[in-house]
Chain A
């Protein structure tokens, strides 16, 4: 299994507060991704990174920002959380030597915004 951890695994916060989710990998993969999973929508890409300090927007990026200062860490920030951002957030990585197109997922973070 790919070495991917997410923290925190569960979080409850209030509307308007900032929230940062962390994804950490030990695989030295170049690409990292943040997805959200919601009932009726499946998984949707929020942001992705193709290298240190190189990031780009995904399908549902409004209200989110990301940063990647080291290969192993990819941070997702909700500047001012809203109830519509209640979701399960998954981090993924790809770019290994074999099957570099295959994305491996972290365990997920369940976020509840009250």
Chain B
């Protein structure tokens, strides 16, 4: 069975501070995919990034960066110089891919980020 744990339920920061969201996963699949989604107060789920298990290259995209470490089963997400618009709930998710029972997503419980001006 797959499992995703986001130990931080809520993080509160002041604007321009950096925020790191932790995600730890468990899976028996040798090939798998990790995702981060953002859910702003308006309620929609916005896809942010996908990582394949065979690609441990970390990435920076603007103010967002991701740290994928297969050895520790972690896929952490950092927002640099946070802004009020970053206030949202962030979900980490895991799937075994299309070939593994329809690419079902297993979600973590989410981390609420509150950025204060």
Which parts of B88-113 form the interface with A (CB within 8 Å)? 91, 95, 97-98, 101-105, 107-110
B44 touches A107 (CB 8 A): yes
- Nearest B residue to A54 by beta-carbon distance? B102
Instruction: Give the chain B neighbours of A42 by CB distance below 8 A.
Output: 91, 107-110
CA distance A102 to B49 in the complex (A): 9
How does the 8 Å CB contact mask read for A73-102 relative to B, with 1 for contact and 0 for none?
000000000000000101010110001111
Instruction: Give the chain B neighbours of A45 by CB distance below 8 A.
Output: 104-105
Q: How far is the CB of B46 from chain A (nearest CB, A)?
A: 8
Prevailing SS type, chain A contact patch: strand
CA distance A106 to B47 in the complex (A): 11
B64 at the interface (CB under 8 A from A): no
CA distance A90 to B102 in the complex (A): 17
With contact pairs A42-B109, A90-B45 given, residues A101 and B97 touching in the complex (Cβ less than 8 Å): yes
What 17 additional pairs, Cβ within 8 angstroms, besides A33-B104, A41-B109, A43-B105? A42-B107, A42-B110, A43-B91, A44-B107, A45-B104, A48-B102, A56-B101, A92-B105, A95-B98, A101-B50, A101-B98, A102-B33, A103-B47, A104-B47, A105-B45, A105-B47, A108-B43
Q: Report which B residues bind A (CB closer than 8 A).
A: 33, 35, 37, 43-45, 47, 50, 91, 95, 97-98, 101-105, 107-110
